[in-house]
Amino acid sequence: MKNEIPTRFIEKLQNHFGSVIADKTLSALSLKSSISVRVNPMKPTAQFDDRQKVPWSKNGYLLPERPTFALDPLFHAGSYYVQDSSSMILEAILQKIQPAREGLYLDVCAAPGGKSTILLDYLDDEGFLIANEVDPKRNAILRENILKWGRLNAGVTSLPARKFDELECAFDLILVDAPCSGEGMFRKDSFAVSQWSENLVEQCALTQKSILAELLPTLKEGGVLIYSTCTMNPEENELQVQKLLDSGTVEPIEIDLSEFSDYLIEANVDNSVIGYYLLPGSSTGEGLFISTLKKTTVSAHEDRRKSRYSTPFQSADVEFQSAFPELPQNLVYWNLKGELHAVVQHQYIEALNLPFKMLGLPYYQMKGENVIPLHGFAMASNGLRAIELSEENSLQFLRKETISLPPNLPKGWSLVSYQNIHLGWVKIIDQRSNNYYPSWLRLRI
Ligand code: SAM
């Protein structure tokens, strides 16, 4: 049964936006929530080409209903990410302001990882993204999604926000997609409705304020701070930005999003536009607030690179190199408990002493003199040859069942793919093959 929208929330919404917009939003809350996907440009699929495009996203599509994503092998291969269309506005903002790609980016509240995948698409192979999530369970989901997206210029940490200042980090871009009271998710998540209270809004506003205050010292002069929430009240949005502006360390970045004005509602502080709302009923997706600011003062950590630590990287073992000679030469490797993770653009993090949970992607491990390729290698490298599977065989592979392969294939390691997108590794031994899909990812339906 659906929970009732709290009366006090309705009053606050009317006070904030006026009755026309509030009524439109409230009637949309009784409708079905929207469903949308963003395609991974590194692993394109044409299956959504006939769907309505998300106006502000190059690879975003609106779907009329929710398919069983789990039964699509390409979902598991990281060909697309199921993401609310409102969140995709981040893509348009990055395209408009064009922050330098040669830089260190932080997504501090990153799980499950949707906005991190947008930042990675923007960075392409340049720069480096630290995707951080403090909650251990959510961090595991973040790692899974980063793994599937297949980029090597990313690292995952699990730190409280204040740690980045203590560890003397200096970032070129910080995204704070803050924990919030979740008003924007009311029609997706009935728990958000049942747990809502003015007290929760207050608590969230305090948390947001401290996350922002803890991170501001780590943003370089000229660096970009993007603040977003999935909520619609001024306490968690305009008033947070107001406090940042009052600190005298940031200024708003003007962004011309007029081509999307039918879908956006401007957010103001002191009669200046400081951000945008995307609201159910007015936009295509769920509720979101987003504001983009520029740091105007220097970070104390900007010039202290030389005196710091060095994250240990190594080159590939010769056995791995000779097993996969087609591998690009610009990779370095980071050893996590015997698993070698391939990394690019490591210069951005070399001087930092960050405790990474995942750095680049797991590529291989050595068992004596034998090389075992790992799942990150399959997810990242779409140029390598693979055995193409049918849909049925792909699902068997993802369930970690034994799959039947064509006869007389050469013995040894091989990638398997569906519609030319890699799914994982098999090892061919005489007339059978062993399935190396990771157990923890195994499809259970
Ligand atoms: N950016 C994500 C995305 O696009 O997929 C969604 C992030 S969600 C809105 C906010 C995240 O902040 C949650 O994963 C939550 O665990 C995390 N979080 C909660 N309290 C926090 C705190 N005090 N400091 C940092 N992160 C926190």
Query: Could you tell me if residue 428 is inside a domain?
Result: yes
Q: Which residue's CA is minimally distant from atom 14 of ligand 1?
A: 111
Which atom of ligand 1 approaches the CA of 228 most closely?
A: 9
Query: Could you tell me if residue 430 is inside a domain?
Result: yes
Residue 391's alpha-carbon distances to 44, 72, 290, 403, in angstroms, are 17, 8, 40, 12
The domain tally of the chain equals 1
% residues pLDDT > 90 (the chain): 90
**pLDDT of 353:** 84
This prediction has a pTM of: 0.97
**pLDDT of 329:** 82
Partners of 417 in the β-ladder: 388, 422
Q: Is 109 annotated as catalytic?
A: no
Could you tell me if the CB of 138 is within 6 A of ligand 1? yes
Could you tell me if the CB of 87 is within 6 A of ligand 1? yes
Could you tell me if the CB of 177 is within 6 A of ligand 1? yes
**pLDDT of 304:** 61
Mutation test of ligand 1: which of 134, 156, 181, 227 has the most ligand atoms closer than 8 Å to its C-beta? 134
Could you tell me if the CB of 393 is within 6 A of ligand 1? no
C-beta separation of 438 from 399 below 8 A: no
**pLDDT of 303:** 78
Residues 121, 90: Cα–Cα separation, whole Å = 11
Query: Could you tell me if residue 339 is inside a domain?
Result: no
Residues 322, 344: Cα–Cα separation, whole Å = 20
Could you tell me if the CB of 110 is within 6 A of ligand 1? yes
Q: Are strands 339-343 and 332-336 parallel, antiparallel or unpaired?
A: antiparallel
Residue for token digits 């200096």? 170
Query: Could you tell me if residue 111 is inside a domain?
Result: no
> If you measure from the C-alpha of residue 178 to the centroid of ligand 1, how many angstroms do you get, rounded to a whole number?
6
**pLDDT of 309:** 65
* Domain range enclosing 422: 385-441
Could you tell me if the CB of 113 is within 6 A of ligand 1? yes
Q: Which residue's CA is minimally distant from atom 15 of ligand 1?
A: 179
> If you measure from the C-alpha of residue 107 to the centroid of ligand 1, how many angstroms do you get, rounded to a whole number?
10
Nearest alpha carbon to residue 354 among 166, 151, 147, 117: 166
Q: Which residue's CA is minimally distant from atom 23 of ligand 1?
A: 207
> If you measure from the C-alpha of residue 253 to the centroid of ligand 1, how many angstroms do you get, rounded to a whole number?
24
Question: Within a 13 Å sphere around the CA of 190, how many CA atoms are in the beta-carbon half?
Answer: 7
C-beta separation of 38 from 75 below 8 A: no
> If you measure from the C-alpha of residue 179 to the centroid of ligand 1, how many angstroms do you get, rounded to a whole number?
5
Q: Which residue's CA is minimally distant from atom 10 of ligand 1?
A: 179
Query: Could you tell me if residue 98 is inside a domain?
Result: no
Query: Could you tell me if residue 409 is inside a domain?
Result: yes
Catalytic residue (choose from 109, 169, 180, 230): 230
Could you tell me if the CB of 214 is within 6 A of ligand 1? no
> If you measure from the C-alpha of residue 258 to the centroid of ligand 1, how many angstroms do you get, rounded to a whole number?
29
> If you measure from the C-alpha of residue 360 to the centroid of ligand 1, how many angstroms do you get, rounded to a whole number?
21
Q: Is 171 left (phi over 0), alpha (psi -120 to 50) or beta?
A: beta
pLDDT: which is higher, 1 or 235: 235
Residue 105 has pLDDT above 50, yes or no: yes
Residue 168 has pLDDT above 50, yes or no: yes
Write the pLDDT tens digit of every residue in 170-215: 999 999 999 999 999 998 888 999 999 999 999 999 999 999 999 9
When pLDDT is cut at 50, 70 and 90, the band that residue 116 belongs to is very high
Paired tokens of 26: 């409230």
Could you tell me if the CB of 225 is within 6 A of ligand 1? no
Could you tell me if the CB of 275 is within 6 A of ligand 1? no
Span 129-139, average pLDDT? 98
Which atom of ligand 1 approaches the CA of 230 most closely?
A: 9
Could you tell me if the CB of 175 is within 6 A of ligand 1? no
- For the chain, what is the mean pLDDT? 95
When pLDDT is cut at 50, 70 and 90, the band that residue 1 belongs to is very low
**pLDDT of 2:** 57
Residue 49's alpha-carbon distances to 54, 62, 117, 122, in angstroms, are 12, 10, 20, 21
Could you tell me if the CB of 287 is within 6 A of ligand 1? no
> If you measure from the C-alpha of residue 109 to the centroid of ligand 1, how many angstroms do you get, rounded to a whole number?
4
Query: Could you tell me if residue 415 is inside a domain?
Result: yes
The 3 state secondary structure assigned to the chain is CCCCCCHHHHHHHHHHHCHHHHHHHHHHHCCCCCEEEEECCCCCCCCCCCCEECCCCCCEEEECCCCCHHHCHHHHCCCEEECCCCCCHHHHHHHHHCCCCCCEEEECCCCCCHHHHHHHHHHCCCCEEEEECCCHHHHHHHHHHHHHHCCCCEEEECCCCCHHHHCCCCEEEEEEECCCCCHHHCCCCHHHHHHCCHHHHHHHHHHHHHHHHHHHHHEEEEEEEEEEECCCCCCCCHHHHHHHHHCCCEEECCCCCHHHCCCCEEEEECCEEEEEEECECCECCCCEEEEEEEECCCCCCCCCCCCCCCCCCECCCHHHHHHCCCCCCCCEEEEECCEEEEECCHHHCCCCCCCCCEECEEEEEEECCEEEECHHHHHHCCCCCEEECCHHHHHHHHCCCCCCCCCCCCCEEEEEEECCEEEEEEEEECCEEEECCCHHHCCCC
Mutation test of ligand 1: which of 57, 107, 109 has the most ligand atoms closer than 8 Å to its C-beta? 109
Residue 171's alpha-carbon distances to 34, 142, 175, 217, 225, in angstroms, are 34, 20, 10, 10, 10
C-beta separation of 423 from 398 below 8 A: yes
Q: How many residues in total does the chain contain?
A: 445
Residues 153, 345: Cα–Cα separation, whole Å = 6
Write the pLDDT tens digit of every residue in 309-354: 666 899 999 999 999 998 888 899 999 999 999 999 999 998 888 9
> If you measure from the C-alpha of residue 37 to the centroid of ligand 1, how many angstroms do you get, rounded to a whole number?
21
**pLDDT of 307:** 53
Residue 295 has pLDDT above 90, yes or no: yes
The CATH number of whichever domain residue 401 belongs to comes to 2.30.130.10
